[in-house]
Structure 1
Amino acid sequence: MQDPLAFVIAIAHIAAALALLNGVTTTFGQAKICSQAIESMARQPEAADSIRSTMFVGLAMAETSGIYGLLIAIVMLFANPLVNTMISHLG
């Protein structure tokens, strides 16, 4: 291992990429929520209002998960406390 600081930065970039992968899975989750809600509304049209409101709550929860992944990726890339700790230990 040549440079420990380079290793920490590389691991931070890998962690940011994994956190951004959350956004891809969030998209599939939202598509599943919408498709199931549309199917449920087609089967029970009289319950469409309650299904729609529940769908929007589920979409908001799924979107929050994607936003958290983006936030973690931004922190890992631009405000990573591990890099500052590593710099202080190296001198």
Structure 2
Amino acid sequence: MNRSHCALFAMGLMLCPQINASADDLAYNLEFTGTIVAQTCDIDISSLSQSIDLGQFAVGDFPSTGPTTKFKPFNINLKNCARG
């Protein structure tokens, strides 16, 4: 009786398409949704007027969509934010 249970289990695994599919055949679709319900923040007036030099680059530095430049830090100060 134990052998028949094992045989049925093995047959079930062989019929399962996920087990027989290769990793390239598997596709997943993830969707994230959400709602922001907290009060917004105000931008501090000291952050409203900034000059950020990104540098000079040739058109050839961007041959297609995707290439980027080096990271350039800047700050935006917020105030009157709700505590989380």
Q: Common fold, TM-score beyond 0.5? A: no
Q: Which has the higher contact order (CA 8 A, sep 6+)?
A: 1
Which structure dedicates a bigger proportion of its chain to helix?
Answer: 1
**TM-score, normalising length from structure 2?**
0.23
Which structure dedicates a bigger proportion of its chain to strand?
Answer: 2
**TM-score, normalising length from structure 1?**
0.22
Q: Which has the larger radius of gyration?
A: 2
